[in-house]
Amino acid sequence: MLHILYFAWLRDRLGRADETLPLPADARSVQDLITQLRARGGEYGAIFARPEQIRVAVNQRFATVAAPIAANDEIAFFPPVTGG
């Protein structure tokens, strides 16, 4: 199972902070997962239509959409962060 976390405006738009779902058989990377989530349509489709506007962490480490994923991973999606 994947544990997916949503932060900031992603959480607000989806109306949920997290969800758990089985690792799709054809999902080997974050990009594959994004494709699966976007295919849900609705807010998922809108949010993941422009993945370049979203950052990701796999198991609490910053990652790119090319990062591999596996069962029991934690995937976090959040907006770009700026500092001062």
pLDDT, mean of residues 44-62? 94
Element housing 46 (H / E): helix 42-48
Considering the domain 2-78 in this protein, what is its CATH number? Answer: 3.10.20.30
Q: Is the pLDDT of residue 30 over 90?
A: yes
| Per-residue pLDDT tens digits for 7-22 | 999 999 999 999 999 9
Q: Is the pLDDT of residue 46 over 80?
A: yes
- What is the domain partition of the chain in residue ranges? 2-78
Q: Is the pLDDT of residue 83 over 80?
A: no
Distance CA 68, CA 79 (A): 20
CA distances from 53 to 1, 19, 48 (A): 25, 21, 9
CB neighbour class for 84 (10 Å; exposed up to 12, middle 13-18, buried from 19): exposed
